Amino acid sequence: MAVEIAHNSNPHLTPVEHHHDDHGSGHHITPAIVYWKVFGGLMFLLAITVVAAFFDLTEILPIHIRGINILVMLAIAIIKATLVVLYFMEVKKGTKLTWVWAAAGFIWFPLMFAILGDYLTRNWITVLGW
């Protein structure tokens, strides 16, 4: 035991305290450069979104779909949201259950708009008297 303590950088540690057996549940530290790269990517995508808002993409792109600008900006917004969820909310380093909940959020979001679209287009019947 004295030999093991002599090899430690801190002589006050016992061999049990020096042992690192966390079974993979430790917290991973992401380097700051990763966050800056993601931030740069988000700013680049923001610039593309602003440019797409000022130009009529039906005249530029070979696809002539009404509302293509909104579809392009929505696709960029989904990419930006994915970057934020993966890196800033650290889902990328999370457990499988974390991935399931993040995926459930992305599945629920369009489902919510589909349900809301149905809800808002219904004709409400006025019930007379009670």
Higher pLDDT, 85 or 124: 85
Q: Tell me the torsion sign for CA atoms 59, 60, 63, 67.
A: negative
Cβ neighbours of 9 (radius 10 Å): 6
pTM for this entry: 0.63
pLDDT at 128: 79
Domain boundaries, the chain: 28-120
| pLDDT exceeds cutoff 60 at 8 | no
Distances (CA, A) of 24 to 27, 34, 94: 9, 22, 11
pLDDT confidence tier of residue 122, bands split at 50, 70 and 90: confident
Task: Return d(Cα 44, Cα 130) in angstroms, integer.
Answer: 59
pLDDT in tens, 16-56: 555 555 555 566 788 999 999 999 999 999 999 999 999 88
